Amino acid sequence: MRLRSGVAVDLGTVNSLVHVRGRGVVLDEPSTIALYRHTDQPPLVGERAEELMRKEPVDIDVLHPLREGVITELDAAATMLQTFLRRARFRTSVLGPRAVICVPSGASFIERRALVAAASFHRPRLAVRLLDEPVAAAIGAGAEPQGTDGVLIVDVGGGTTEAAIVLGAHMVRVHSLRVGGNAMDEAIVQAVKAELGLHIGLRAAEHLKKSLGLTGGASGSAQVAGIDLARGTVREEQVRGPLVASALEHVVAPIIESVQELLWEMPPDLADGVIRRKVQLAGGGALLPGLASRLRDSTGVTTVVVEKPLRAVVRGAATMLEHHYELLPPM
């Protein structure tokens, strides 16, 4: 008899990851879907849809069904999620299949129900449990789901940043900010436009973010290409680190403040565990040059980037699926 099948999903604003029980992470693709306007052609999902988004075809609508970590286009999200599950070759079993899907802590009850509906679409036997992303990230960073030590986790995703004190599989305090890597990219686009008269794309802004960040990188500058706003021509420009750091400050400052506030609000009995385990930095934003040291300097607590930070959330969800599913309450 086949074992009970199961799947853990990190359905993110930018990328989605799928872990299938017994096989590990089998899918990591953009959370993007492309719908044809005038034909009945099947939609494109993931990598192929993301490629079209930047080319702006006139006969196709390219959507991100999630904004700031929650579903805004339910039908598109359901189609995208079911496509990902098919690509992951997730099959049902004799015993009822299980799913653990991560959700931002700030998601409303309606948003949570929408996520369950998207997962259950065409799979009515699928038992879906939701797991708050800060808890998933903390467990993915090594916290014990039934542990008694507090963990301060900062998960900087594409659409949201979740800063939380986590105890086992429970949140003690949490601050959810609807800013993340996307807001950083947009801030860089606007800064380069205002200071250099150059309109760059989000991909170029992401390159500046990753290579320069808050520190200026190894070289102190990076080259990008864009449209000269005065002449309407293509131009290359060497962008210096201080410009990028200044642009990022508008997004980073609220993250720093939220972590400082968490430390003020933290129950004193959890302080020892938080200091010993350090501030855990997860998500794609954890790779921003200078963010970990900035958090350390601002809070006085050593800050570390967790192993493979982009997979911390799905890793924690997989742990709950495989070993602690009964701890998750049904919706």
Give me the residue spans of the domains in the chain. Answer: 6-135+313-327, 147-179+250-309, 181-247
What the block records as the tokens of 60 is 């196709």
Q: pTM, whole model, 2 decimals?
A: 0.88
Q: What is the DSSP letter of 97?
A: P
Q: Is the pLDDT of residue 302 over 70?
A: yes
Q: Mind listing the pLDDT tens digit for each residue in 127-162?
A: 899 999 999 999 999 999 998 888 999 999 988 899
- Class of 147-179+250-309 in CATH: alpha beta
Q: Is the pLDDT of residue 108 over 50?
A: yes
Q: What does the alpha-carbon distance between residue 72 and residue 74 come to, in Å, rounded to a whole number?
A: 6
Residue for token digits 């720093």?
256
- Of 225, 222, 213, 218, give the one whose Cα is nearest residue 284: 213
SS3 readout for 182-226: HHHHHHHHHHHHHHHCEECCHHHHHHHHHHCCCCCCCCCEEEEEE
Q: Is the pLDDT of residue 1 over 60?
A: no
What's the number of CA atoms in the CB half-sphere (13 Å) around residue 260?
A: 13
Could you tell me the strand order of the sheet in which 198-199 lies? 198-199, 221-228, 234-240
- Region of residue 310 (left: phi > 0; alpha: psi -120 to 50; beta: else): alpha
Same fold, 6-135+313-327 and 147-179+250-309: yes
Q: Mind listing the pLDDT tens digit for each residue in 26-76?
A: 999 999 998 888 777 888 898 888 887 766 676 788 888 888 767 788 888
Any idea which architecture 6-135+313-327 has in CATH? Answer: 2-Layer Sandwich (3.30)
Q: Is 234 helix (H, G, I), strand (E, B) or coil?
A: strand
Q: Mind listing the pLDDT tens digit for each residue in 151-194?
A: 999 999 988 899 999 998 999 999 989 889 999 999 999 999 99
Question: Which CATH superfamily does the domain covering 181-247 fall into?
Answer: ATPase, substrate binding domain, subdomain 4 (3.90.640.10)
| CB 311 within 8 Å of CB 235 | no
